[in-house]
A and B are shown apart, each in its own frame.
Chain A
Amino acid sequence: EPEVTQTPSHQVTQMGQEVILRCVPISNHLYFYWYRQILGQKVEFLVSFYNNEISEKSEIFDDQFSVERPDGSNFTLKIRSTKLEDSAMYFCASSEALGTSGTSTDTQYFGPGTRLTVL
C-alpha cells in the first residue's frame, strides 16, 4: 500500500544550524502538508502546499521556515536557524485532492515523522 516516507527518522542539531527534513508523499497526491508535535502537546498544522506554492501557513511557520518541492517526488521543510523550541516530531502528510467538501479524497495520510532535537 502506498505510504508517505520521511527521512531522517531522527535529526540532532545545534541551535542556530539549518536543518532540512525530507518527505516523499504518496505518488498521485497533489496536496502536501507539514505538521509538528511538541512532546506532550497536540499535533499542530504548519503549512500546506499545492501547485508549487504555499496555500496556507500557521503563525508558527515564520520566516525561519520554508518548504520546497525540488523535484517530482520530494517535499522538504527547511528550518534556517534552529531554536531550542523547534525540538519536536515533524510529520509530513499528503492528500489526493480537495474534491468536494468533506470527501474521502481530502483525507491526509501521514508519514512516520522526523524527531528533531535541537541542543
Chain B
Amino acid sequence: DQQVKQNSPSLSVQEGRISILNCDYTNSMFDYFLWYKKYPAEGPTFLISISSIKDKNEDGRFTVFLNKSAKHLSLHIVPSQPGDSAVYFCAASLYSGTYKYIFGTGTRLKVLA
C-alpha cells in the first residue's frame, strides 16, 4: 500500500534556512491532509493540516501547500530551528465511515546549529 509516499528519508538544513518536506499521494479521493512531527519514543504530534478545497494553509513558521493536480503536498518551515529536528509524517484522510489516516514513511529532519 503506497498511497502516500515521502521519497526523502532524511533532510539536513542549516538553522535559519527554509526546510521543505515533500509528500506525494495517489488517491484522488483523499480530502484532508496533515503533517505530524514525531520525536523518538513519543506519539505523532499534530502540526498543521489542509483541506482538499484549499491550496495553502499557514500557521506561524509552518506552511502547507497542496497541489491537487500533481497530487503533491509540501511542508515549509521558515526559519528552521534546531528544535524542529524530528521525523515528519504526512498523512492523508479518506472517509470510509470514519476518517482513517494513511501515513507516509516519514522524513527525518535535522536542523544544524
Contacts and interface: CB of A to CB of B under 8 A. Distances in A.
Interface residues of B, dominant DSSP:
strand
Contacts of A101: 31-32, 51-52, 95
B53 A91 contact: no
Contacts of B96: 56
A43 B103 contact: yes
B68 to A, nearest CB: 12
Interface string A55-79: 1101000000000000000000000
A102 B100 contact: no
Interface stretch (B10-18, B20-28, B38-46, B78-86): B38-46
Interface size class of B (residues with CB under 8 A): 20 to 34
A33 B31 CA distance: 19
B100 A42 contact: no
Contacts of A41: 105
Interface string B49-71: 10111000000000000000000
Interface residues of A, number: 31
A38 B10 CA distance: 19
Interface in A1-50: 4, 6, 31, 33, 35, 41-45, 48, 50
A103 B51 contact: yes
A108 B51 contact: no
Interface in B89-106: 89, 91, 93, 95-106
Interface of B: 31-32, 34, 36, 41-46, 49, 51-53, 89, 91, 93, 95-106
Given A91-B43, A102-B32, 8 more contacts: A43-B91, A43-B103, A48-B100, A101-B51, A102-B51, A107-B34, A108-B99, A110-B45
